[in-house]
Amino acid sequence: MSSNLAVILSESARSAPDHPVAMFDGGQLTYRQLDRASDRVAANLAEAGIGAGDAVALQLPNIPQFLISYFGILKAGAVVVPLNVLLRAPSPTVSSAAWPSSAGRAPRKTPPDAGCRGRSAAGTMRA
């Protein structure tokens, strides 16, 4: 049995290469196409120095490029950190009580660079 999703994708691409893995407006994506495209993403990430254990944030809507990027990150050995594209910061006019945390209190404010190091916008952050 396969050990991770990237291996399962590669196995599926070998056993059913032309089977669609995703349907979208304007077409479909086959296992072979997804496998090859995600291999290119993995190679680009490796060339950029991203590897085993690195966290890579992924913020894309529900489009084929999300799948390609997701599997490419896994193939590079990195950890995918999916971000919700619809998530917005609370409005200053909304009471903090409307944004409960797991402890039932308002979420604490953390500086954007707290606990992070690494590259910005075009790159990745390493925790």
Domains of the chain: 5-86 (3.40.50.980)
37-85 pLDDT per residue, tens: 999 999 999 999 999 999 999 999 889 999 999 999 999 999 999 998 8
116 in Cβ contact with 127 (< 8 Å)? yes
Is residue 93 very low, low, confident or very high in pLDDT (cuts 50, 70, 90)?
A: low
Give the contacts of 121 (CB within 8 A, at least 6 positions apart). Answer: none
pTM value?
A: 0.67
Structure tokens at 6: 């990237």
